[in-house]
Amino acid sequence: MPNDASPEDEKAEKKDERVYQTACPALMNGEVRGKLVAPLTDGDCGERSPLSLTAIGKENPLALAAPVTVNCAMATTLAQWAGEVRKAALKSFNAEIEAVATGSDYQCRKVNRGSSGRVSEHAFANALDIMSFRFKNGRTTELAAGWNGKPEEKEFWRSIHKTSCDMFMTVIGPDGDAAHKTNLHLDQGCHGTNCTSRICQ
């Protein structure tokens, strides 16, 4: 049977092709601020429905110093995490958080940037590194110095670490290994045979 479709018809059909991405409830419900972005594909790395986030949390959202690319699972947990981090900031510093500075988000690489070994959760937009916080009273705290810094900093970072271990599947901080002296690694990677085991370091 001959194909009677004109070039214009073919263009229109391609334009209307469905994009097979999944909506993220956290974004739709205002628990995070940002947008769905194009699928990420790079060899073994990628994510079908990545989000670019600019703030996390529905009530008193925490602004991110720069947009981060994560998947929906990370976005959902980060929204819940934001509320607990805000409480920790008020307790330790009596201050609201102005911005959260992050390190690696989506990156196609192996764990700890190694040349061999398993692929990092960063490669699936399933991880985020937290570096520092800036408060509305003008103060800042960086993990590198604050982990063993002033009493209020030590209290704050350890509170965040504990909260993170309750919410994420993997948490690695300064006591975990040398690669995380300056960043608190959070991810939702699968551990154990049924994906319910957690790593908290």
d(CA 128, CA 99): 15
**Quick check: 111 and 120 in contact, CB under 8 A?**
yes
Tell me, what's the pLDDT at 14?
Answer: 55
Q: What is the pLDDT of residue 115?
A: 65
Res 47: pLDDT: 97
Query: Per residue in 129-145, pLDDT tens?
Result: 999 999 999 999 999 99
Instruction: Tell me which amino acid residue 120 is.
Output: S
41 DSSP β-pair partners: 46
Closest CA to 84 of 166, 199, 174: 166
pLDDT value of position 3:
54
3-state SS string for the chain: CCCCCCHHHHHHHHHCCCCCCCCCHHHHCCCEEEEECCCEEECCEEECCCEEEEEECCCCCEEEEEEEEECHHHHHHHHHHHHHHHHHHHHHHCCCEEEEEECCCCCCCEHHHCCCCCECHHHHCCEEEEEEEEECCCCEEEHHHHCCCCHHHHHHHHHHHHHHHHHCCEEECCCCCHHHCCCEEEECCCCCCCCCCCEEC
Nearest-angstrom CA–CA distance, 37 and 181: 31
Segment 31-88, tens digit of pLDDT: 999 999 999 999 889 999 999 999 999 989 999 999 999 999 999 999 999 999 999 9
- Rounded to the nearest integer, the mean pLDDT of the chain is 91
Q: What is the pLDDT of residue 20?
A: 85
Is the pLDDT at 6 greater than 70, yes or no?
no
Q: Domain boundaries in the chain?
A: 19-200
Q: What does the pLDDT read at residue 16?
A: 60
Contact in structure between 165 and 158 (CB atoms under 8 Å): no
Q: What percent of the chain is modeled with pLDDT above 70?
A: 88
pLDDT digits (tens, 9 = 90+) for 148-176: 999 999 999 999 999 999 999 999 999 99
- What confidence score (pLDDT) does residue 192 get? 86
The pTM is what? Answer: 0.88
Q: Tokens representing 137?
A: 């009273």
Residue with tokens 């469905």: 18
State the pLDDT confidence band at 1, using cuts at 50, 70 and 90.
very low
Position 152 scores a pLDDT of 98
pLDDT digits (tens, 9 = 90+) for 74-128: 999 999 999 999 999 999 999 999 999 999 999 999 886 666 678 999 999 999 9
